[in-house]
Structure 1
Protein backbone atom coordinates (compact mmCIF):
# COMPACT_ATOMS: atom_id res chain seq x y z
CA UNK A 1 0.00 0.00 0.00
CA UNK A 2 1.29 3.53 -0.75
CA UNK A 3 2.32 5.64 2.20
CA UNK A 4 -0.25 8.45 2.05
CA UNK A 5 0.93 11.49 3.99
CA UNK A 6 -1.95 13.80 3.15
CA UNK A 7 -4.57 14.77 0.64
CA UNK A 8 -6.42 16.84 3.21
CA UNK A 9 -9.55 19.02 3.37
CA UNK A 10 -12.53 17.51 1.57
CA UNK A 11 -10.32 14.55 0.67
CA UNK A 12 -9.38 13.73 4.28
CA UNK A 13 -10.66 10.19 3.96
CA UNK A 14 -7.54 9.46 1.92
CA UNK A 15 -5.00 10.81 4.38
CA UNK A 16 -4.19 13.23 7.18
CA UNK A 17 -3.11 16.80 6.43
CA UNK A 18 0.01 18.17 8.04
CA UNK A 19 -1.20 21.57 9.17
CA UNK A 20 1.69 23.86 10.02
CA UNK A 21 1.64 27.33 8.54
CA UNK A 22 5.23 27.63 7.37
CA UNK A 23 6.24 27.58 3.73
CA UNK A 24 9.91 26.67 3.77
CA UNK A 25 11.61 24.07 1.60
CA UNK A 26 15.01 22.92 0.51
CA UNK A 27 14.96 24.86 -2.73
CA UNK A 28 13.11 25.99 -5.84
CA UNK A 29 13.75 23.35 -8.45
CA UNK A 30 17.46 23.19 -7.67
CA UNK A 31 19.16 20.72 -5.36
CA UNK A 32 18.23 19.01 -2.13
CA UNK A 33 20.65 17.53 0.36
CA UNK A 34 18.45 14.87 1.92
CA UNK A 35 15.74 13.31 -0.18
CA UNK A 36 15.26 10.59 2.43
CA UNK A 37 14.29 12.93 5.27
CA UNK A 38 10.63 12.78 6.41
CA UNK A 39 8.49 15.47 4.82
CA UNK A 40 7.76 17.07 8.19
CA UNK A 41 11.50 17.69 8.69
CA UNK A 42 12.08 19.11 5.22
CA UNK A 43 9.02 21.35 4.92
CA UNK A 44 6.23 22.78 7.02
CA UNK A 45 3.02 22.15 5.13
CA UNK A 46 0.31 24.78 4.88
CA UNK A 47 -3.32 23.71 4.94
CA UNK A 48 -3.53 24.02 1.16
CA UNK A 49 -0.62 21.61 0.58
CA UNK A 50 -0.70 17.82 0.72
CA UNK A 51 1.94 15.17 0.11
CA UNK A 52 1.36 11.54 -0.73
CA UNK A 53 3.86 8.73 -1.29
CA UNK A 54 2.81 6.56 -4.21
CA UNK A 55 4.41 3.86 -6.35
CA UNK A 56 5.15 4.67 -9.99
CA UNK A 57 5.26 1.64 -12.23
CA UNK A 58 6.83 3.76 -14.99
CA UNK A 59 9.68 4.85 -12.70
CA UNK A 60 9.89 1.54 -10.80
CA UNK A 61 9.96 3.33 -7.46
CA UNK A 62 7.89 5.23 -4.96
CA UNK A 63 7.55 8.97 -5.56
CA UNK A 64 6.19 11.96 -3.67
CA UNK A 65 3.14 13.65 -5.18
CA UNK A 66 2.59 17.20 -3.92
CA UNK A 67 -0.79 18.89 -4.43
CA UNK A 68 -1.14 22.67 -3.93
CA UNK A 69 -4.51 24.39 -4.22
CA UNK A 70 -5.71 27.91 -3.38
CA UNK A 71 -6.33 28.34 0.31
CA UNK A 72 -9.95 27.82 1.31
CA UNK A 73 -10.99 26.32 -2.03
CA UNK A 74 -11.95 22.70 -2.57
CA UNK A 75 -9.39 21.26 -5.02
CA UNK A 76 -11.75 18.69 -6.49
CA UNK A 77 -12.37 19.30 -10.18
CA UNK A 78 -10.02 22.28 -10.51
CA UNK A 79 -7.79 22.26 -13.60
CA UNK A 80 -4.26 21.10 -12.83
CA UNK A 81 -0.88 22.52 -13.82
CA UNK A 82 2.10 20.18 -13.49
CA UNK A 83 5.05 21.87 -11.81
CA UNK A 84 8.25 20.04 -12.79
CA UNK A 85 11.32 20.32 -10.58
CA UNK A 86 14.89 20.99 -11.65
CA UNK A 87 18.05 18.92 -11.73
CA UNK A 88 18.82 17.15 -8.44
CA UNK A 89 15.54 18.46 -7.04
CA UNK A 90 12.30 16.71 -6.18
CA UNK A 91 8.58 17.32 -5.80
CA UNK A 92 8.89 18.91 -2.36
CA UNK A 93 10.84 21.81 -3.84
CA UNK A 94 7.51 23.12 -5.12
CA UNK A 95 6.36 23.92 -1.58
CA UNK A 96 8.69 26.94 -1.40
CA UNK A 97 6.44 29.95 -1.91
CA UNK A 98 3.96 28.55 -4.41
CA UNK A 99 1.11 27.86 -1.95
CA UNK A 100 1.17 31.49 -0.82
CA UNK A 101 1.57 33.00 -4.30
CA UNK A 102 -1.23 30.88 -5.74
CA UNK A 103 -3.58 31.65 -2.85
CA UNK A 104 -2.84 35.38 -2.89
CA UNK A 105 -3.45 35.74 -6.62
CA UNK A 106 -6.74 33.87 -6.46
CA UNK A 107 -7.89 35.81 -3.38
CA UNK A 108 -7.03 39.09 -5.10
CA UNK A 109 -9.11 38.12 -8.12
CA UNK A 110 -6.19 38.25 -10.52
CA UNK A 111 -6.68 34.65 -11.62
CA UNK A 112 -9.30 31.92 -11.27
CA UNK A 113 -8.45 28.95 -9.02
CA UNK A 114 -6.41 26.00 -10.22
CA UNK A 115 -4.24 23.29 -8.70
CA UNK A 116 -0.48 22.87 -8.91
CA UNK A 117 0.86 19.34 -8.83
CA UNK A 118 4.47 18.26 -8.51
CA UNK A 119 5.87 14.74 -8.57
CA UNK A 120 9.37 13.27 -8.28
CA UNK A 121 10.85 12.90 -11.75
CA UNK A 122 14.39 11.84 -10.93
CA UNK A 123 17.55 13.83 -10.27
CA UNK A 124 19.07 14.02 -13.75
CA UNK A 125 16.80 12.51 -16.38
CA UNK A 126 15.43 15.65 -18.09
CA UNK A 127 11.96 14.10 -17.78
CA UNK A 128 12.57 11.60 -20.58
CA UNK A 129 12.74 7.83 -20.74
CA UNK A 130 15.85 6.20 -19.34
CA UNK A 131 16.51 2.47 -18.84
CA UNK A 132 14.15 1.30 -16.10
CA UNK A 133 12.97 4.84 -15.32
CA UNK A 134 10.41 6.59 -17.53
CA UNK A 135 9.37 9.91 -16.01
CA UNK A 136 7.53 11.05 -19.13
CA UNK A 137 5.29 7.98 -19.16
CA UNK A 138 4.57 8.64 -15.49
CA UNK A 139 3.36 12.13 -16.39
CA UNK A 140 1.37 11.06 -19.43
CA UNK A 141 -0.16 7.81 -18.21
CA UNK A 142 -0.03 7.52 -14.42
CA UNK A 143 -0.54 11.07 -13.13
CA UNK A 144 -3.99 11.48 -14.77
CA UNK A 145 -5.08 8.20 -13.19
CA UNK A 146 -3.77 9.21 -9.76
CA UNK A 147 -5.62 12.52 -9.98
CA UNK A 148 -8.86 10.91 -11.13
CA UNK A 149 -8.76 8.44 -8.23
CA UNK A 150 -8.57 11.40 -5.85
CA UNK A 151 -11.38 13.35 -7.56
CA UNK A 152 -8.90 15.97 -8.76
CA UNK A 153 -8.89 17.60 -12.19
CA UNK A 154 -6.81 16.58 -15.18
CA UNK A 155 -3.46 18.12 -16.14
CA UNK A 156 -4.13 20.87 -18.68
CA UNK A 157 -0.97 22.96 -18.19
CA UNK A 158 2.71 22.47 -17.42
CA UNK A 159 5.44 24.59 -15.88
CA UNK A 160 8.95 24.09 -14.58
CA UNK A 161 12.29 25.54 -13.59
CA UNK A 162 15.61 24.69 -15.27
CA UNK A 163 15.51 20.95 -16.10
CA UNK A 164 11.84 21.13 -15.19
CA UNK A 165 11.36 23.85 -17.80
CA UNK A 166 12.99 21.58 -20.37
CA UNK A 167 10.63 18.81 -19.26
CA UNK A 168 7.54 21.04 -19.38
CA UNK A 169 8.25 21.90 -23.02
CA UNK A 170 8.79 18.22 -23.87
CA UNK A 171 5.57 17.27 -22.05
CA UNK A 172 3.63 19.94 -23.93
CA UNK A 173 4.98 18.59 -27.22
CA UNK A 174 4.03 15.01 -26.31
CA UNK A 175 0.50 16.04 -25.34
CA UNK A 176 0.02 17.77 -28.69
CA UNK A 177 1.39 14.74 -30.53
CA UNK A 178 -1.15 12.58 -28.68
CA UNK A 179 -4.01 14.80 -29.82
CA UNK A 180 -4.64 16.12 -26.30
CA UNK A 181 -2.89 19.51 -26.25
CA UNK A 182 -2.37 21.59 -23.15
CA UNK A 183 -4.01 24.95 -22.61
CA UNK A 184 -0.81 26.71 -21.57
CA UNK A 185 2.78 26.27 -20.36
CA UNK A 186 5.32 28.37 -18.49
CA UNK A 187 9.06 27.90 -18.02
CA UNK A 188 11.69 29.62 -15.91
CA UNK A 189 15.36 29.40 -16.94
CA UNK A 190 14.69 26.29 -19.07
CA UNK A 191 17.80 24.12 -19.37
CA UNK A 192 18.16 24.63 -23.12
CA UNK A 193 21.73 23.81 -24.06
CA UNK A 194 22.86 25.02 -27.45
CA UNK A 195 25.47 22.32 -28.10
CA UNK A 196 25.88 18.61 -27.51
CA UNK A 197 29.26 19.31 -25.95
CA UNK A 198 27.56 21.15 -23.10
CA UNK A 199 24.66 18.73 -22.74
CA UNK A 200 26.98 15.72 -22.74
CA UNK A 201 28.52 16.95 -19.49
CA UNK A 202 25.17 16.34 -17.74
CA UNK A 203 25.32 12.60 -18.53
CA UNK A 204 21.58 12.60 -19.05
CA UNK A 205 21.32 11.33 -22.62
CA UNK A 206 22.79 8.21 -24.17
CA UNK A 207 24.08 10.05 -27.26
CA UNK A 208 23.62 13.18 -29.33
CA UNK A 209 20.91 11.64 -31.50
CA UNK A 210 18.75 10.89 -28.46
CA UNK A 211 19.19 14.41 -27.14
CA UNK A 212 18.33 15.99 -30.49
CA UNK A 213 15.20 13.86 -30.76
CA UNK A 214 13.95 15.35 -27.49
CA UNK A 215 15.55 18.81 -27.15
CA UNK A 216 12.93 21.60 -27.47
CA UNK A 217 15.37 23.74 -29.48
CA UNK A 218 15.36 21.06 -32.16
CA UNK A 219 11.54 21.07 -32.31
CA UNK A 220 10.72 24.74 -32.18
CA UNK A 221 7.31 24.55 -33.84
CA UNK A 222 6.11 21.43 -32.03
CA UNK A 223 3.93 23.41 -29.61
CA UNK A 224 1.75 25.01 -32.28
CA UNK A 225 -0.15 28.03 -30.97
CA UNK A 226 0.09 27.03 -27.31
CA UNK A 227 0.26 30.09 -25.01
CA UNK A 228 3.74 29.93 -23.49
CA UNK A 229 5.40 32.17 -20.92
CA UNK A 230 9.20 32.29 -20.61
CA UNK A 231 11.37 33.86 -17.91
CA UNK A 232 15.17 33.86 -17.68
CA UNK A 233 17.72 36.06 -15.95
CA UNK A 234 20.00 37.88 -18.37
CA UNK A 235 23.05 36.49 -16.53
CA UNK A 236 21.67 32.94 -16.35
CA UNK A 237 23.84 30.19 -17.81
CA UNK A 238 20.91 29.16 -20.03
CA UNK A 239 20.23 32.63 -21.39
CA UNK A 240 21.65 31.88 -24.86
CA UNK A 241 19.37 28.90 -25.42
CA UNK A 242 16.40 30.74 -23.91
CA UNK A 243 16.93 33.77 -26.13
CA UNK A 244 17.11 31.50 -29.15
CA UNK A 245 13.84 29.86 -28.12
CA UNK A 246 12.20 33.26 -27.64
CA UNK A 247 13.51 34.65 -30.92
CA UNK A 248 12.36 31.69 -33.00
CA UNK A 249 9.04 30.79 -31.33
CA UNK A 250 7.67 34.21 -30.31
CA UNK A 251 6.06 33.02 -27.05
CA UNK A 252 3.02 34.74 -25.61
CA UNK A 253 5.13 36.33 -22.89
CA UNK A 254 8.90 36.56 -22.49
CA UNK A 255 11.08 38.21 -19.86
CA UNK A 256 14.89 38.36 -19.73
CA UNK A 257 15.27 40.74 -16.82
CA UNK A 258 18.39 41.03 -14.62
CA UNK A 259 19.14 37.86 -12.70
CA UNK A 260 21.15 34.67 -12.45
CA UNK A 261 20.31 30.96 -12.19
CA UNK A 262 19.44 31.05 -8.51
CA UNK A 263 16.61 31.17 -5.99
CA UNK A 264 16.63 34.98 -5.91
CA UNK A 265 15.59 35.16 -9.54
CA UNK A 266 13.23 32.21 -9.34
CA UNK A 267 11.34 33.79 -6.43
CA UNK A 268 10.91 36.92 -8.53
CA UNK A 269 9.66 35.04 -11.58
CA UNK A 270 7.46 32.38 -9.98
CA UNK A 271 4.59 34.70 -8.90
CA UNK A 272 4.47 36.01 -12.47
CA UNK A 273 4.42 32.45 -13.80
CA UNK A 274 1.52 31.57 -11.48
CA UNK A 275 -0.47 34.54 -12.79
CA UNK A 276 0.38 33.68 -16.40
CA UNK A 277 -0.76 30.08 -16.00
CA UNK A 278 -3.90 31.20 -14.20
CA UNK A 279 -4.73 33.59 -17.00
CA UNK A 280 -4.66 30.83 -19.61
CA UNK A 281 -5.53 27.57 -17.84
CA UNK A 282 -9.31 27.94 -18.02
CA UNK A 283 -10.97 27.48 -21.44
Structure 2
Protein backbone atom coordinates (compact mmCIF):
# COMPACT_ATOMS: atom_id res chain seq x y z
CA UNK A 1 0.00 0.00 0.00
CA UNK A 2 1.51 3.30 -1.08
CA UNK A 3 1.65 6.17 1.36
CA UNK A 4 0.46 9.61 0.35
CA UNK A 5 3.02 12.42 0.50
CA UNK A 6 3.63 13.60 4.04
CA UNK A 7 5.58 12.72 7.15
CA UNK A 8 6.66 9.07 7.14
CA UNK A 9 9.07 7.03 9.21
CA UNK A 10 11.70 7.65 6.52
CA UNK A 11 10.99 11.36 6.67
CA UNK A 12 11.23 11.26 10.43
CA UNK A 13 14.69 9.72 10.25
CA UNK A 14 15.81 12.29 7.72
CA UNK A 15 14.35 15.04 9.84
CA UNK A 16 16.26 13.95 12.93
CA UNK A 17 19.51 15.04 11.31
CA UNK A 18 18.06 18.49 10.75
CA UNK A 19 16.89 18.52 14.32
CA UNK A 20 20.43 17.89 15.59
CA UNK A 21 21.64 20.86 13.56
CA UNK A 22 18.81 22.87 15.03
CA UNK A 23 19.92 22.01 18.55
CA UNK A 24 23.33 23.54 17.81
CA UNK A 25 22.15 26.60 15.95
CA UNK A 26 18.99 27.50 17.83
CA UNK A 27 16.92 27.33 14.64
CA UNK A 28 13.72 25.32 14.37
CA UNK A 29 13.63 22.12 12.32
CA UNK A 30 10.81 20.03 10.87
CA UNK A 31 11.26 17.31 13.50
CA UNK A 32 12.91 17.65 16.88
CA UNK A 33 15.02 14.74 18.03
CA UNK A 34 13.64 12.62 20.90
CA UNK A 35 14.71 13.95 24.27
CA UNK A 36 14.46 12.97 27.91
CA UNK A 37 15.13 16.46 29.21
CA UNK A 38 14.08 17.45 32.71
CA UNK A 39 10.79 19.33 33.01
CA UNK A 40 11.08 22.96 32.00
CA UNK A 41 10.70 25.57 34.73
CA UNK A 42 8.08 27.38 32.66
CA UNK A 43 6.10 26.45 29.54
CA UNK A 44 7.71 27.25 26.23
CA UNK A 45 6.32 26.95 22.70
CA UNK A 46 7.16 23.90 20.63
CA UNK A 47 10.09 24.60 18.32
CA UNK A 48 8.74 22.52 15.45
CA UNK A 49 5.40 21.30 14.14
CA UNK A 50 6.42 17.74 15.06
CA UNK A 51 8.29 17.19 18.30
CA UNK A 52 9.05 13.81 19.85
CA UNK A 53 10.00 13.49 23.50
CA UNK A 54 11.05 10.32 25.28
CA UNK A 55 9.49 10.27 28.75
CA UNK A 56 9.58 7.77 31.59
CA UNK A 57 6.12 6.61 32.58
CA UNK A 58 6.01 5.29 36.12
CA UNK A 59 2.44 4.17 35.46
CA UNK A 60 3.62 1.94 32.60
CA UNK A 61 7.01 1.07 34.07
CA UNK A 62 8.87 2.04 30.89
CA UNK A 63 9.93 4.90 28.63
CA UNK A 64 7.36 6.07 26.10
CA UNK A 65 7.30 8.36 23.08
CA UNK A 66 5.20 11.50 23.33
CA UNK A 67 4.59 12.84 19.80
CA UNK A 68 3.43 16.47 19.72
CA UNK A 69 1.92 17.66 16.41
CA UNK A 70 0.84 21.25 15.70
CA UNK A 71 -0.18 23.00 12.47
CA UNK A 72 2.70 24.53 10.51
CA UNK A 73 3.12 28.23 11.12
CA UNK A 74 0.83 28.36 14.15
CA UNK A 75 2.24 29.31 17.59
CA UNK A 76 1.78 26.36 19.91
CA UNK A 77 1.33 28.19 23.22
CA UNK A 78 -2.21 27.85 24.49
CA UNK A 79 -3.47 25.57 21.73
CA UNK A 80 -6.33 23.23 22.69
CA UNK A 81 -5.27 19.59 22.72
CA UNK A 82 -6.64 16.40 21.23
CA UNK A 83 -4.95 13.23 22.50
CA UNK A 84 -4.57 10.51 19.86
CA UNK A 85 -4.65 6.84 20.91
CA UNK A 86 -3.18 4.29 18.50
CA UNK A 87 -4.28 0.76 17.66
CA UNK A 88 -3.03 -2.61 18.84
CA UNK A 89 0.49 -3.45 17.74
CA UNK A 90 1.21 0.20 16.88
CA UNK A 91 2.69 3.13 18.75
CA UNK A 92 2.52 6.91 18.95
CA UNK A 93 4.57 7.37 15.76
CA UNK A 94 1.84 5.60 13.79
CA UNK A 95 0.12 8.97 13.41
CA UNK A 96 3.16 10.24 11.51
CA UNK A 97 2.87 7.31 9.11
CA UNK A 98 -0.79 8.24 8.62
CA UNK A 99 0.27 11.77 7.57
CA UNK A 100 -1.76 13.33 10.36
CA UNK A 101 0.51 16.40 10.65
CA UNK A 102 -0.01 17.26 6.98
CA UNK A 103 -3.77 16.71 7.28
CA UNK A 104 -3.84 18.91 10.39
CA UNK A 105 -1.99 21.75 8.65
CA UNK A 106 -4.20 21.47 5.57
CA UNK A 107 -7.32 21.59 7.72
CA UNK A 108 -6.20 24.69 9.58
CA UNK A 109 -5.27 26.44 6.33
CA UNK A 110 -8.78 25.72 5.06
CA UNK A 111 -10.36 27.35 8.09
CA UNK A 112 -10.43 24.75 10.87
CA UNK A 113 -9.59 26.39 14.23
CA UNK A 114 -6.01 25.39 15.14
CA UNK A 115 -5.32 22.74 17.75
CA UNK A 116 -2.55 20.34 18.74
CA UNK A 117 -2.63 16.55 18.50
CA UNK A 118 -0.60 14.60 21.05
CA UNK A 119 0.03 10.86 20.72
CA UNK A 120 1.64 8.63 23.33
CA UNK A 121 2.63 4.95 23.45
CA UNK A 122 0.04 2.66 25.01
CA UNK A 123 -1.08 -0.97 25.06
CA UNK A 124 -3.63 -3.47 26.43
CA UNK A 125 -6.67 -1.69 25.01
CA UNK A 126 -5.60 1.28 27.13
CA UNK A 127 -6.66 -0.50 30.33
CA UNK A 128 -4.48 -1.69 33.23
CA UNK A 129 -2.56 -4.94 32.82
CA UNK A 130 -0.78 -5.78 36.05
CA UNK A 131 1.84 -3.11 36.70
CA UNK A 132 1.43 -1.63 33.19
CA UNK A 133 -1.32 0.99 33.45
CA UNK A 134 -1.71 3.19 30.34
CA UNK A 135 -4.96 4.57 31.74
CA UNK A 136 -3.14 6.01 34.76
CA UNK A 137 -0.43 7.40 32.46
CA UNK A 138 -3.09 9.38 30.57
CA UNK A 139 -4.72 10.61 33.76
CA UNK A 140 -1.72 11.35 35.98
CA UNK A 141 1.36 11.86 33.79
CA UNK A 142 0.24 13.19 30.42
CA UNK A 143 -1.19 16.45 31.88
CA UNK A 144 2.27 17.41 33.15
CA UNK A 145 3.89 16.61 29.81
CA UNK A 146 1.34 18.82 28.05
CA UNK A 147 1.92 21.66 30.49
CA UNK A 148 5.69 21.50 29.92
CA UNK A 149 5.03 22.00 26.20
CA UNK A 150 2.91 25.08 26.87
CA UNK A 151 -0.28 23.34 25.77
CA UNK A 152 -3.71 23.39 27.36
CA UNK A 153 -5.13 20.33 29.13
CA UNK A 154 -6.65 17.63 26.97
CA UNK A 155 -10.24 18.34 25.90
CA UNK A 156 -10.49 16.08 22.84
CA UNK A 157 -9.66 12.45 22.07
CA UNK A 158 -9.09 10.63 18.78
CA UNK A 159 -8.84 6.84 18.75
CA UNK A 160 -8.09 4.38 15.96
CA UNK A 161 -9.02 0.69 16.33
CA UNK A 162 -7.92 -0.31 19.86
CA UNK A 163 -7.44 3.41 20.43
CA UNK A 164 -11.14 3.91 19.74
CA UNK A 165 -11.91 1.55 22.62
CA UNK A 166 -9.51 3.58 24.78
CA UNK A 167 -10.88 6.95 23.63
CA UNK A 168 -14.45 6.05 24.55
CA UNK A 169 -13.32 4.74 27.91
CA UNK A 170 -11.37 7.91 28.56
CA UNK A 171 -14.42 10.02 27.72
CA UNK A 172 -16.47 8.00 30.21
CA UNK A 173 -14.14 9.07 33.00
CA UNK A 174 -13.22 12.60 31.93
CA UNK A 175 -16.09 15.04 31.80
CA UNK A 176 -13.68 17.77 30.68
CA UNK A 177 -13.37 15.94 27.34
CA UNK A 178 -15.75 17.81 25.05
CA UNK A 179 -15.24 15.90 21.80
CA UNK A 180 -14.34 12.31 20.87
CA UNK A 181 -13.75 10.78 17.44
CA UNK A 182 -13.25 7.08 16.73
CA UNK A 183 -12.07 5.40 13.54
CA UNK A 184 -12.74 1.66 13.20
CA UNK A 185 -13.18 1.34 16.96
CA UNK A 186 -12.26 -2.19 18.11
CA UNK A 187 -15.36 -2.86 20.19
CA UNK A 188 -16.99 -6.15 21.20
CA UNK A 189 -20.69 -6.89 21.35
CA UNK A 190 -20.28 -10.04 23.44
CA UNK A 191 -17.82 -11.65 25.83
CA UNK A 192 -17.05 -14.53 23.41
CA UNK A 193 -15.96 -11.93 20.83
CA UNK A 194 -13.74 -10.15 23.35
CA UNK A 195 -12.26 -13.36 24.77
CA UNK A 196 -10.59 -14.16 21.45
CA UNK A 197 -8.33 -11.12 21.92
CA UNK A 198 -6.74 -12.52 25.10
CA UNK A 199 -6.64 -9.06 26.68
CA UNK A 200 -9.25 -9.23 29.41
CA UNK A 201 -8.60 -11.72 32.25
CA UNK A 202 -12.30 -12.35 32.84
CA UNK A 203 -15.76 -11.46 31.64
CA UNK A 204 -16.11 -9.08 34.59
CA UNK A 205 -12.95 -7.22 33.52
CA UNK A 206 -14.27 -6.91 29.98
CA UNK A 207 -17.72 -5.80 31.13
CA UNK A 208 -16.17 -3.07 33.29
CA UNK A 209 -14.13 -1.72 30.36
CA UNK A 210 -16.26 -2.32 27.26
CA UNK A 211 -17.77 1.00 26.04
CA UNK A 212 -20.77 -0.80 24.53
CA UNK A 213 -21.64 -1.97 28.05
CA UNK A 214 -21.71 1.65 29.28
CA UNK A 215 -23.37 3.56 26.47
CA UNK A 216 -25.26 5.75 28.93
CA UNK A 217 -21.90 7.11 30.15
CA UNK A 218 -20.71 8.15 26.70
CA UNK A 219 -21.12 11.68 25.38
CA UNK A 220 -23.50 12.18 22.46
CA UNK A 221 -22.77 15.81 21.72
CA UNK A 222 -19.23 15.99 20.36
CA UNK A 223 -19.06 12.27 19.55
CA UNK A 224 -18.10 11.22 16.02
CA UNK A 225 -17.87 7.64 14.73
CA UNK A 226 -16.21 6.53 11.46
CA UNK A 227 -15.97 2.97 10.16
CA UNK A 228 -15.41 1.23 6.84
CA UNK A 229 -18.11 -0.97 5.38
CA UNK A 230 -15.59 -3.82 5.07
CA UNK A 231 -14.24 -3.53 8.62
CA UNK A 232 -14.36 -6.61 10.89
CA UNK A 233 -15.67 -4.35 13.67
CA UNK A 234 -18.47 -2.94 11.51
CA UNK A 235 -21.28 -4.66 13.43
CA UNK A 236 -19.95 -3.38 16.75
CA UNK A 237 -19.64 0.14 15.34
CA UNK A 238 -23.18 0.00 14.03
CA UNK A 239 -24.28 -0.94 17.53
CA UNK A 240 -22.36 2.04 18.91
CA UNK A 241 -24.07 4.33 16.42
CA UNK A 242 -27.57 2.99 17.10
CA UNK A 243 -27.22 3.01 20.89
CA UNK A 244 -25.03 6.08 21.57
CA UNK A 245 -26.54 8.22 18.77
CA UNK A 246 -23.36 10.19 18.05
CA UNK A 247 -23.48 13.70 16.66
CA UNK A 248 -21.78 12.49 13.46
CA UNK A 249 -21.50 8.93 12.13
CA UNK A 250 -20.03 7.80 8.82
CA UNK A 251 -20.03 4.30 7.37
CA UNK A 252 -18.16 4.56 4.08
CA UNK A 253 -16.22 2.30 1.74
CA UNK A 254 -13.10 0.91 3.36
CA UNK A 255 -11.52 -1.75 5.54
CA UNK A 256 -9.46 -1.87 8.73
CA UNK A 257 -6.42 -0.38 7.00
CA UNK A 258 -4.10 2.60 7.00
CA UNK A 259 -5.47 3.54 3.57
CA UNK A 260 -8.96 3.93 5.04
CA UNK A 261 -7.72 5.94 8.05
CA UNK A 262 -5.69 8.30 5.87
CA UNK A 263 -8.79 8.87 3.78
CA UNK A 264 -11.07 9.83 6.67
CA UNK A 265 -8.56 11.75 8.82
CA UNK A 266 -9.19 15.13 7.13
CA UNK A 267 -12.91 14.92 7.94
CA UNK A 268 -12.20 13.64 11.44
CA UNK A 269 -9.82 16.52 12.14
CA UNK A 270 -12.37 19.06 10.89
CA UNK A 271 -14.92 17.53 13.24
CA UNK A 272 -12.55 17.73 16.20
CA UNK A 273 -11.20 21.20 15.49
CA UNK A 274 -14.61 22.83 15.21
CA UNK A 275 -15.60 21.45 18.61
CA UNK A 276 -12.33 22.14 20.40
CA UNK A 277 -12.35 25.84 19.49
| TM class, shorter-length | 0.7 to 0.9
Who is 1:137 aligned against?
A: 136
TM superposition shift of 1:149: 2.1
Regions of 4+ moved over 6 Å = 41-44
**Residues 1:24 and 2:8 are matched in the alignment:** yes
Structure with the larger helix share: 2
Who is 1:13 aligned against?
A: none
Who is 1:237 aligned against?
A: 232
Q: The residue matched to 1:133 in structure 2 has which SS?
A: coil
Who is 2:150 aligned against?
A: 151
Q: The residue matched to 1:113 in structure 2 has which SS?
A: coil
**Residues 1:266 and 2:261 are matched in the alignment:** yes
Given the superposition, is the C-alpha separation of residues 106 and 211 from structure 1 closer, same or farther in structure 2, using an over 3 Å criterion?
Answer: same
The answer on whether the counterparts of 1:233 and 1:258 sit within 8 Å (CA) in structure 2 is yes
Matches within 5 A, 1:1-283: 23-25=7-9, 40=13, 47-96=48-97, 97-109=99-111, 111-122=112-123, 125-176=124-175, 181-282=176-277
The answer on whether the counterparts of 1:23 and 1:43 sit within 8 Å (CA) in structure 2 is no
Deviations 1:168-222 (A, max 9, x none): 000011113xxxx211010000001112222112111111110011100000010
Q: The residue matched to 2:249 in structure 1 has which SS?
A: strand
Given the superposition, is the C-alpha separation of residues 60 and 197 from structure 1 closer, same or farther in structure 2, using an over 3 Å criterion?
Answer: same
TM superposition shift of 1:250: 0.9
Q: The residue matched to 2:78 in structure 1 has which SS?
A: coil
TM superposition shift of 1:41: 7.2
Work out the CA distance in 2 between the residues paired with 1:60 and 1:99. 29
Work out the CA distance in 2 between the residues paired with 1:140 and 1:226. 22
Size of the alignment, in residue pairs?
243
Per the normalisation by structure 1, the TM-score is 0.82
The answer on whether the counterparts of 1:189 and 1:239 sit within 8 Å (CA) in structure 2 is yes
Per the normalisation by structure 2, the TM-score is 0.84
Q: List alignment gaps of at least 5 residues for structure 1.
A: 1-20, 27-38
Aligned-residue RMSD, C-alpha: 1.9
TM superposition shift of 1:43: 8.8
